[in-house]
A and B are shown apart, each in its own frame.
Chain A
Amino acid sequence: MNKIEPRSGKGRTNLSLMPYSFWSLIFVVVPLVFVAYYAFTDDNFRFTTENITRFFTATSALKEDDGTLREVHTYLVIFMRSLKLAAISTVICLLMGYPLAYIIARAKARTQKMLVTLIMIPMWMNFLIRTYAWMTILQDTGILNSMLSVVGLGPVRIIGTEAAVVIGMVYDYFPYMVLPIYSIMAKMDMKLFEAARDLGCNGFGVLKRVIFPLSLPGVLSGINMVLIPSVSTFYISQKLGNGKFFLIGDAIEGQYIANNLHFAAAIAFILMVILLVCMGLLKYLAAKFVYGGE
């Protein structure tokens, strides 16, 4: 994400920022404090780390493919599964979104507007409706399988597989990958590409040495905006995964519904910390390897 430089000097409070500071305090800081407070207290609001340790130590029996039962760390398994599906979705979004963002940014102004609108239109529809739509498409007797049958490739079992969950995530979060990358690419100075070609870069060299490093802030914020909601999603896995792939979001929802507010808060808190560390690491690595340590 772009760094926003403070415009006024240190120690000076800008009055026009007051409503926003107040807003962030009420709706960002206070809820976070509550999450942390609930995560570290028991039902009587006494300090405890039990909720946190439970996340790491709770075990349950997992049925293997061959029918044998295996004892596993319940929440770690769920978390790794969430992270895996989210990471796959993010990579797919990036691989599809990056070239698309580039193509849009290089198009004529009018075409750009149209393409951006096309990408945003699905976002105007409700998230639940979109997921339901994918259910009907991916069902065993759905549109996709009917088409596959016609060409003799189907039917294929898709609904209830990890693939279906990934498809749902990619579809829902794709615009969040394309838009930040596009907005950074649209602002790039074309002269820099010419300069690179002038200095001996072929087309791929320009991409590798100029376009990619300059677009990195957009890529990072795209990854942020896709990875985080994908990791914590619960609805998509329930509807498209037929509830077979219990994700960390489902776990939080389940605990919340079961009125285990403190444990739900603990899972949310741990998830947040891990994601913050991941994003920090990603940013650090990107800076180190692409910008030469600056």
Chain B
Amino acid sequence: MHNHLIEFKNVSKTFDTTEALSNINLYVDENEFLTLLGPSGCGKSTLLRLIAGFESPTDGQLLFEGQDLSSIPPHKRKVNTVFQKYALFPHLNVYDNIAFGMKIQKKSKKEIEYEVGRVLELVNLKGFDRRSVDSLSGGQQQRIAIARAIVNKPHVLLLDEPLAALDLKLRKDMQIELKNMQKELGVTFIYVTHDQEEALSMSDTIVVLNEGKIQQIGAPCDIYNEPRNAFVADFIGESNIIDGVMLENYKASFSGHTFQCLDKGFAEGEPVDVVVRPEDVDIVPEGEGMLCGNVTQVTFMGVHNEIIVDIGGFKWMIQTTDSVNVGERIGISLDPDAIHIMKKSEYSGMFGDYSSYSNELDELSDPGRDE
């Protein structure tokens, strides 16, 4: 049997009466960049804390390199954590912060000096040894936190929303740096975030969580192109999610029109959720469209316009480089590969209509909330 680095077997975690994680089955492989993605309170941080050892599962088994982790305290695990707000020791300078773990392991002074120098170079902060951590900017503190963790050569590096406190520009730079660092070090990264863009751009594998349950596991492009339910479709990227009926293989009907699609394996007449990504919609003159509607809102986004179109009472979001005006009546056309069919789930009907567009944005872009 192939051995995974970390394996969750039917793991559940309950705090008092609330279930934070329920029946998690998940494995993490060597050298993988795995992201736990979900909204606040979905259980992603709890999952990370289970691996670090700050929490223990209420139920199920957690294996690390084939060994049960339950009896191993945090300080004996071969994992290190980069904390959300860095948790650097304020009474120690940069050097002593990074050397903290090695000093406990009683490494020689010479080795500690060499290793600290090496990781400082790796995080581009050479010469910062004697600085106090308070004198560093957020981005620099972030790098020290990473250096402090990786200097111990962990088998797995756990990162708990490490970029959430940084501003957008710095966040983008750090994303690229982290990804490069992961390749360079050859260490498994388990990364927690609520930022779907971050997850898509960095990960090998994304685990989408909501309400303590795994919604979908897959590569970024699979998660984006083939979301399994309305929650995933909505949480990752923008989606129009429409009620539809599967007529037969490769043929679906929604919004009063029958479309060719690439999906099969549904029962004839089965109600389904249809996902159409805003960038996959073609705008055509009114008469030539498969569907027609009135433009109710146009927002200039730089690269494209984001428009909201009312089609038979359902508000679609469309991203287009064409220019249209509010009040204009347009037609839309969908290619078969623009249409993705999902089975009905508990999340059906909860997402994907853009009548309440702005509220949703607020919720997703709120980095300040802790779990």
Contact = CB atoms under 8 A, between A and B. Distances in A.
Interface of A: 189, 191-192, 194-202, 205, 209-210, 213-214, 290-292, 294
Given A200-B105, A202-B73, A191 B93 contact: no
Interface in B43-99: 52-54, 73-76, 79-81, 83-85, 87-93, 96
Nearest to B104: A200
B162 to A, nearest CB: 13
Contact of B83 (A195, A200, A202, A294): A195
B105 A191 contact: no
Nearest to B54: A194
Contacts of B84: 191
A200 B102 CA distance: 9
A214 B83 contact: no
B100 A196 contact: yes
B74 A198 contact: yes
A198 B159 CA distance: 12
B91 A198 contact: no
Nearest to A193: B87
B152 interface: yes
Nearest to B145: A195
B100 A209 contact: yes
Contacts of B271: none
Contact of A214 (B74, B91, B96, B152): B91
A292 B75 contact: no
* Residue among A189, A192, A195 with max Cβ neighbours from chain B (10 Å): A195
A241 B90 CA distance: 45
A189 B88 CA distance: 10
Given A191-B83, A192-B89, A197 B96 contact: no
A243 to B, nearest CB: 46
A198 B93 contact: no
Contact of B52 (A192, A196, A198, A210): A198
A195 B73 contact: no
B132 interface: yes
B331 interface: no
Interface in B99-121: 100-101, 104-105
B104 A191 contact: no
The 7 closest A-B pairs by CB, nearest first: A199-B101, A191-B87, A195-B87, A200-B104, A197-B74, A213-B91, A198-B81
B144 to A, nearest CB: 12
B100 A199 contact: yes
Contacts of A205: 75, 104
B13 interface: no
Most interface-central of A194, A199, A210, A214 (chain B CB within 10 A): A199
29 contacts: A189-B87, A191-B87, A194-B52, A194-B81, A195-B88, A195-B89, A196-B89, A196-B100, A197-B53, A197-B73, A198-B75, A198-B79, A198-B149, A199-B100, A199-B101, A199-B149, A200-B76, A200-B101, A200-B105, A202-B73, A205-B104, A209-B100, A209-B104, A210-B91, A213-B91, A290-B91, A291-B91, A292-B92, A294-B93
A192 B75 contact: no
B340 interface: no
Best-surrounded residue of B88, B101, B132 (most CB of chain A within 10 A): B101
B161 to A, nearest CB: 12
A197 B87 CA distance: 12
Given A191-B83, A191-B85, A199-B148, A294 B75 contact: no
Nearest to A194: B54
Given A198-B75, A292-B93, 13 more contacts: A191-B83, A191-B85, A192-B87, A194-B52, A195-B87, A197-B73, A198-B52, A200-B104, A201-B104, A210-B91, A213-B91, A214-B90, A214-B91
A233 to B, nearest CB: 34
Contacts of A199: 75, 80, 100-101, 104, 148-149, 152
A294 B100 CA distance: 18
Contacts of A202: 73, 75
B5 to A, nearest CB: 18
B75 A201 contact: yes
Interface string B170-189: 00000000000000000000
Contact of B89 (A200, A210, A290, A294): A210
A294 B131 CA distance: 11
Contacts of A213: 91
Contacts of B93: 292, 294
Given A192-B89, A200-B152, A213-B91, A292 B83 contact: no
A189 B85 CA distance: 10
Contacts of B88: 195
Contact of A198 (B80, B96, B105, B132): B80
Contacts of B96: 292
Contact of B81 (A189, A195, A290): A195
Interface in B306-323: none
A292 B96 CA distance: 10
Contacts of A197: 53-54, 73-75
A127 B136 CA distance: 49
Contacts of A210: 89, 91
A198 B81 CA distance: 7
B146 to A, nearest CB: 13
Nearest to B100: A199
A103 to B, nearest CB: 21
A213 B92 CA distance: 10
Contacts of B90: 214
Contacts of B85: 191
Contacts of B87: 189, 191-192, 194-195
A210 B96 CA distance: 12
